[in-house]
Amino acid sequence: MKFALVEDQLMFRSMLRRLLVEDCGGTVVLEAGTLGEVRAGMEVLRTVDLVLLDIRMPDGDGVDFVDEMSKARVSAPVLLCSSSCEDYIVHRVSRSFVQGFVHKDEEPKVLMTAIQMIAAGGAFFSPRFVQRRRELGQDQENFTKLLSDREQELLRLLGAGHTEAEIAATLGLGVSTVLTHKRNVMLKLDLHTAQDLQKFALKSGFTTIDRLR
């Protein structure tokens, strides 16, 4: 198999490379520590059998990049390998076109199983991911049931510290519309202050400490 390996942590990337080459008998034809490096090698990406992709990258988001691949007509299957398994991540991954998800805390044999199943044309999502997805589906008070897609997008930007004016420009909305959405989000989630909103965004995976402005 030919692999693309996209992971910003050098030590973990080296471990993954060794597993792919020595245990899977494959070849890593594209290795990158940023999404920019992957974009530069997009033509190589078209030739691989599997993309191992982290979610939290220094210059972007792996789940968003899967959408970029689809728009660029890159059809290689994607296995997300990440330490992020917060509610919003689970929700977005479940709605994406990826073939699998393995948490970095799982045993290496779980990753091997995922690679084998995806290589055979199937899909694989680790037990931790499946359990959290099931819990989200059963929780009627979860944000996935309360907020629209637009409101979730707005919460992601608010959680990262963007102002209402910046969000309006990004989404092509009026500032008053953004303020209305913000009030609705806070009302639906029973949040009372901007600090409450940011805490919720961090806890649920809408943003990270590193992305706070």
149 shares its domain with 127 = no
38 shares its domain with 128 = yes
Secondary structure E strands in 14-138? 27-32, 50-53, 56-57, 60-61, 78-82, 100-103, 124-125
Range(s) of the domain holding residue 196: 143-211
104 shares its domain with 165 = no
Predicted pLDDT of residue 213: 55
107 shares its domain with 20 = yes
Global confidence as pTM: 0.85
Average pLDDT of every residue of the chain: 93
Q: Residues 186-206: pLDDT tens digits?
A: 999 999 998 999 999 999 999
Cβ of 30: how many Cβ atoms within 10 Å? 20
Final residue in a domain of this structure, among 138, 170, 191: 138
Q: Report angle CA 127, 131, 205 to the nearest 5 degrees.
A: 105
What does the block give as tokens for 146? 């309360």
83 shares its domain with 152 = no
What does the block give as tokens for 169? 């420009």
148 shares its domain with 92 = no
Bridge partners, residue 50, by sequence: 3
What does the block give as tokens for 42? 């997009």
Number of domains, the chain = 2
* 115-136 average pLDDT score: 92
151 shares its domain with 91 = no
Final residue in a domain of this structure, among 138, 166, 183: 138
12 shares its domain with 112 = yes
Percentage, residues of the chain above pLDDT 90: 82
104 shares its domain with 148 = no
Judge whether 4 and 52 are in contact, CB under 8 Å: yes
Q: Residues 8-66: pLDDT tens digits?
A: 999 999 999 999 999 999 999 999 999 999 999 999 999 999 999 999 999 999 999 99
Judge whether 45 and 74 are in contact, CB under 8 Å: yes
What does the block give as tokens for 43? 């033509």
Final residue in a domain of this structure, among 118, 138, 158: 138
133 shares its domain with 200 = no
Predicted pLDDT of residue 139: 86
Bridge partners, residue 6, by sequence: 32, 53
Of the CA atoms within 13 Å of residue 81, those in its CB half-sphere come to 27
* CA torsion angle 127 128 133 139 (round to 10): 120
- Rounded to whole angstroms, how far apart are CA atoms 209 and 213? 9
Q: Say which CATH number the domain at 54 has.
A: 3.40.50.2300
155 shares its domain with 86 = no
